[in-house]
Amino acid sequence: MTKPVMIDVTDVTIAYGDFVLLKDVSFQVRRGDIFIIMGGSGCGKSSLLRVLTGLTPAAKGHAVVDGTDMVSADSAAKDAVMRRCGILYQSGALFSSMTVAENIALPLRQYTGYSDKMIEELVALKLALVGLAGFQDFYPSELSGGMKKRAGLARALALDPDIVYFDEPSAGLDPISSKLLDDLILDINQSLGTTIVVVTHELSSIFAIGTNSVFLDGSKHGVGAHGKPADLLKNPPNKTVYEFLTRGKEYAQRTK
């Protein structure tokens, strides 16, 4: 049975003044996907993510997230959508003056009427979910890079979102920490059914977790390919996609 569409992007163009970064981008993300937005540096991956989250207006097109067009909707409608979404920023974006528990509790205090006791229990639950049980009273400066990412993920999951966005989650992590984060993303997707959108250029993560993807071609300022990453590697639609997925291996040698 075909799963419902959670994100429907149609003919989105992103421009800064006269410079067109991306033109006529279209793709769909279905419920339960781990959807990869991939491409080289500067191709517009993070800018597209900002359109999906309502932070950057598109020059044209539609980006419908859970029934709301994040291009044309007013701020109140966009805020309502984002309360059903979570974001893990590239740096983790934890407030340095707050403990880990206070960081995770922030959206719960802001958007729910839960008691202090209930919030404390939910914080402990989210920390256990990301493998940080017992770290409630630590400050971000006392955590490793991988632990900061996991704490940021716990905060992104605080309101039990339907969709979680990841902006370059493996950036700055060593290979082991990156692998652990990939495993955590898979666990959350499989155990909670959360729809996940990941902006990344890390091949190990792309092949390990991606169930579907869109490739942004910086040279064409648009979409270069759609599909499962493994399928795109097996049957590359063009030279640019193949060389990206093989770290620059010669396209002409692909059958040898």
Q: What is the model's pLDDT at position 99?
A: 96
pLDDT in tens, the chain (256 residues): 789 999 999 999 999 999 999 999 999 999 999 999 999 888 999 999 999 999 999 999 999 999 999 999 999 999 999 999 999 987 778 999 999 999 999 999 999 999 999 999 999 999 999 999 999 999 999 999 889 999 999 999 999 999 999 998 888 788 888 999 999 999 999 999 999 999 998 999 999 999 999 999 999 999 999 999 999 999 999 999 999 999 877 655 555 5
Residue type, 111: Y
Order of all β-strands in the sheet with 212-217:
85-88, 163-167, 195-200, 34-39, 212-217, 222-226
Tell the residue number behind the tokens 């934890």, with chain if given: 94
- CA dist 38 and 177 (Å) reads 20
- CA dist 92 and 198 (Å) reads 14
Q: What is the model's pLDDT at position 119?
A: 97
The second-level CATH assignment, the architecture, of 32-56+74-253 is 3-Layer(aba) Sandwich (3.40)
Q: What is the model's pLDDT at position 93?
A: 84
Query: Which residues fall within 8 angstroms of residue 1, CB to CB, at 6 or more apart?
Result: none
Task: Report CA-CA distances (Å) from 46 to 24, 165, 195, 207.
Answer: 16, 11, 18, 20
- CA dist 32 and 163 (Å) reads 9
Confidence (pTM): 0.91
Q: Bridge partners of 37?
A: 199, 214
- CA dist 230 and 210 (Å) reads 9
